[in-house]
Amino acid sequence: MKVFKSFRLLSKTTLFYLIFILITFFFGAQFMINKIDQFAIKETEHSFNKREKHLIKYLEEHDTLKRFRTTLISPINKNDTVNYPRYNDTLIYNDELGESHLHRQKVLIIKAKEEYFLVKMFINIDVFTKLKRGISKRIILAFIILALAIILFTVFMSGHLLKPFHRILEHMNSYKVGKGIKFRDVITSTLEFKKMQFLFKRMIDRTEDDYRKLKEYTENMAHEIQTPLTIIRNKTEKLISDETVMDNHKDSVKVIYDETNHLSKLGSTLNLLTKIENQEYTNSVSLTTEQIVLKHLDSINELVELKSLLIETKLNSGHKILIDPFLFDIILKNLLRNAVRYASNDGPIKVETTQSSLKISNFGNELKVTDNQIFERFYTSDCSSQSLGLGLALVKRICDLNQLRIRYSYMEKQHIFIIDSYN
């Protein structure tokens, strides 16, 4: 059974909103850092250009080289002036402050008095680096604070603003068809919640009305059809007691009688199936199955002896099942009667229980049906013109509604039915 993870809508919205904010903050920080880099490049280049002009003017006016602050000058051969200017960042230790600072270095060639000089200039860019780090830290801090604020607000919304929504969901979950429950209005000022509550009430009214009509129709049909069937059965029994009729029409009379009984049972079963599907049987209790199984085996003992069959039992006293007792009786009755009906004398009918499962098997000819088709209503196998009827479909529906799993298999000339839970 596949399990799908699910999240609250508000949690999903908050998650997507936080991701959006994170992306926005990230690109915003990148934009600001790029702007700071561009500003630092522009400012340092402006300072380098001013110094370069100052140096050229100085060299034009003086015959000696001078060591400038943050500037190194040395003569250079004309042939070595390619691949300049060059830029790089480096750390320079400040003796006065006792710490290192990041500087941007520009190495360039200047020409003065027909001579070429190699010039190294340094400008402190530590302030720009600190500004970038400061922006990054503050953006991260701002995101954390904003994320916490959004999460806290989401918790508040989930616990307070969405309280009417959860109340309406509780009403939906507790509603059962046919109970005619009247729910008290959930007080809310939210338009969407009011609309949902209004539509839920309309749905209940329509469902109850449809259910009432269907139930009346089914019960009336099941009841009314019994009267003509009883008349047909009584008339057929009179024909059976008439030897003259039986001598000439024995097979026809028997078919009429059998089909009349079958139709009577079919009407009752359909009525029962409708009630089960409408969940009218909800008195689920934990049943210890051993004595219940033995009671049903006693009830079919006469039929088993009539067909010269044998029953083997291996019952676990600890086997329990959570189900309405009436529905469990239907399951056992149908599976056991099905086993007796289709059993051959190649081996015994076996009824076994373990700590967690119930198994009923019988020997018999293989049916040309899949493991799922055998639970379909009125399915007819290729090897038999007789329909499998509603019995197994009824058992399957009961199991589905009670979170039980029923499996069918054919192995070693045995039809095997196993009932257990999905856990």
Query: pLDDT band for position 4 (50/70/90)?
Result: very low
pLDDT level of residue 169 (50, 70, 90 thresholds)? confident
Q: Give the span between the Cα atoms of 205 and 189, in whole angstroms.
A: 24
Q: Are 353 and 293 in contact (CB under 8 A)?
A: yes
% of the chain surpassing 90 pLDDT: 10
Task: Give residue 388's pLDDT band: very low, low, confident or very high (50, 70, 90).
Answer: very low
Q: How many CB atoms lie within 10 A of CB 358?
A: 24
- pLDDT per position as a tens digit, 245-272: 777 777 787 888 777 877 777 777 777 7
8 A C-beta contact, residue 382 and residue 368: yes
Q: What is the pLDDT of residue 385?
A: 41
Length of the chain in terms of residues written: 423
Q: Which of 237-246, 338-347, 376-385 has the highest mean pLDDT?
A: 338-347
pLDDT of residue 167: 85
pLDDT in tens, 38-82: 888 898 889 888 888 888 888 887 766 665 655 667 777 777 667
> What mean pLDDT is reported for the chain?
81
Are 122 and 105 within 8 A, CB to CB?
A: yes
Give the pLDDT of residue 221: 73
Q: What is the pLDDT of residues 130-144, one digit of tens each?
A: 888 888 888 888 888
Q: Compute the distance between CA of residue 21 and CA of residue 95 in angstroms, rounded to an integer.
A: 45
pTM assigned to the model: 0.49
Indicate if the alpha-carbon torsion angle 206, 212, 217, 222 is positive or negative. Answer: positive
| The token pair that represents 261 in the structure block | 């009984």
Give the separation between CA 108 and CA 60, rounded to whole angstroms. Answer: 17
Note whether 412 and 333 are within 8 A (CB): no
Q: Residue 6: its pLDDT value, please? A: 63
Residue 12: is its pLDDT beyond 70?
A: yes
Provide the pLDDT for residue 389: 56
| Confidence (pLDDT) at 353 | 92
Q: Tell me the pLDDT tens digit for each residue of 282-321.
A: 778 898 999 999 999 998 888 888 888 899 999 999 999 9
Mean pLDDT of 18-38: 86
d(CA 293, CA 315): 9
Beta bridge partners of 123: 104
Instruction: State which H helix or E strand residue 227 sits in.
Output: helix 226-241
How far CA 110 is from CA of 75, 160, 274, in Å, comes to 10, 74, 101
Report pLDDT for 258.
77
Spatial contact of 112 and 56, defined as CB atoms under 8 Å apart: yes
Q: What is the DSSP letter of 387?
A: B
pLDDT attached to residue 33:
84
Report the b/e string of 295-334 with b at 16+ CB within 10 A: ebbeebeeebeeeebebeeebbeebbbebbeebbebbbbb
